[in-house]
Amino acid sequence: MSVETATTESDTVRKILTAAGDTWAVVGLSSNTARAAYGVAAVLQRFGKRIVPVHPKAETVHGEQGYASLADIPFPVDVVDVFVNSEHAGPIADEAAAVGAKAVWFQLGVIDEAAYARTREAGLDMVMDRCPAIEIPRLG
What single string gives the DSSP state of each residue in 85-139? -HHHHHHHHHHHHHTT-SEEEEPTT---HHHHHHHHHTT-EEE-S--HHHHGGGG
The bridge status of strand 103-106 relative to strand 79-82 is parallel
> Which residues are within 8 A (CB) of 40 and not within 5 positions of it... i.e. 6 or more apart?
26, 81, 83, 107, 131, 132, 133
Distance CA 84, CA 2 (A): 28
pTM over 0.85: yes
**Quick one: CA dihedral 15, 20, 22, 23, positive or negative?**
negative
CB atoms < 10 A from the CB of 108, how many? 14
Phi/psi for 20 (5° steps) reads -75, -25
pLDDT at 9: 86
pLDDT at 6: 53
pLDDT at 57: 94
Adjacency order of strands within the sheet including 79-82: 50-54, 23-27, 79-82, 103-106, 125-127
**Per-residue tens of pLDDT for the chain, all 140 residues:** 444 455 588 899 999 999 999 999 999 999 999 999 999 999 999 999 999 999 999 999 999 999 999 999 999 999 999 999 999 999 999 999 999 999 999 999 999 999 999 999 999 999 999 999 999 988 87
pLDDT at 8: 86
pLDDT at 5: 56
CB atoms < 10 A from the CB of 39, how many? 13
